[in-house]
Amino acid sequence: MMASTKYNIDPKLDLMLERVIDVPRELVWKAWTTPEYVVKWFTPAPWQTVDCKIDLRPGGLFYTVMRSPEGEDYPNTGCFLEIVENEKLVWTDALEGGYRPVDKVGHCIDTFMTAILLLEPHGSGTKYTAIALHPTEAGRKQHEEMGFHDGWGTALDQLVEFVKTL
Amino acid sequence: MPNNNMHLDRVFHALSDPTRRAVLARLGSGPAAVSELARPFDMALPSFTQHLGVLEECGLVSSEKKGRVRTYRIVRGPLEEAGTWIERQRALWEKRLDQLDNFLYELKEKE
């Protein structure tokens, strides 16, 4: 079954990105599940990931700290939900380690997400699919109106930075 | 009117191409002539000017001709518009996965 159908992707709320890369699946898996590797790529420049903890089991903690170009740190907690080595990794930032719901007070995040990473062999390389599921738009708007902002600056800054760093 | 979804589609279509993003990145640091913009790309000039056309049609860049030299500059408005929440998330993930792919190729070389 197509991943978009299987996971009920709503293009207004959710993201699905597919990439094919000429790198073995085991290496892609390692890059996603080894903290020393995750810090190298996880946060879009000019932000950086300065800390990462991974407890690779369902209910295990996925913790990252992002640092803004101005030097401010933004911790993110998440919880792994499903782990199939070299095939599938599912986590959410709505929970922290041990499946405990996150207390969002004091967190700089605008909405929760569940992320699904799927890996398939593709010739000598790998096809990987990254899916980010978000809550309904109503919920998200409410978050924004309540003053929850993500740590990425204004839309303009984000896009201009994005374009500049390519 | 620029403020509608079809226009946003065109902006994102324009941003979906690596050559056009590289041109925008270059123009981010100041206006440039076509010849200068084209120099880093191994591409026939007509193909390259098509890319410039796509960027200009959706208003991401503007151009001005003086004598035989056409100079391009970035226009900030459409970028601002393109910043809806979901597109910010997409930009974040695209960039994240670009960094992942680069890292993976480095890793593969080492191992």
Cβ distance of A23 and B76 shorter than 8 Å? no
Q: Tell whether the model's pLDDT for residue A148 goes beyond 50.
A: no
Tell me the CA distances in angstroms from A10 to A4, A7, A93, B7, one per residue in order.
8, 9, 19, 21
Tell me the CA distances in angstroms from A14 to A38, A61, A129, B4, one per residue in order.
23, 23, 13, 20
* Confidence band for B105, pLDDT divided at 50, 70 and 90: very high
Lateral strand order in the sheet of B69-74: B32-33, B69-74, B61-66
Cβ distance of A41 and B96 shorter than 8 Å? yes
Q: What is the pLDDT of residue B106?
A: 94
* Confidence band for A14, pLDDT divided at 50, 70 and 90: confident
Q: Answer with the residue of higher pLDDT: A142 or A9.
A: A9
Q: What is the pLDDT of residue A68?
A: 84
Alpha-carbon gap, residue B65 to B68, rounded angstroms:
7
Tell whether B44 lies on the interface with A, counting CB pairs under 8 A.
no
Q: What is the pLDDT of residue A110?
A: 58
ipTM: 0.78
- Best mutation target among A12, A145, A159 (most B Cβ atoms within 10 Å) is A159
Tell whether B45 lies on the interface with A, counting CB pairs under 8 A.
no
Q: What is the pLDDT of residue A112?
A: 84
* Confidence band for B87, pLDDT divided at 50, 70 and 90: confident
State pLDDT tens for residues B35-51.
999 999 889 999 999 99
pTM over 0.80: no
Alpha-carbon gap, residue B13 to A164, rounded angstroms:
18
Alpha-carbon gap, residue A16 to A129, rounded angstroms:
7
Residues of B in contact with A12 (CB under 8 A): 86
Report whether A26 contacts A126 (CB < 8 A).
Answer: no
Q: Tell whether the model's pLDDT for residue A33 goes beyond 90.
A: yes
State pLDDT tens for residues A90-100.
999 999 999 99
Alpha-carbon gap, residue A40 to A35, rounded angstroms:
9
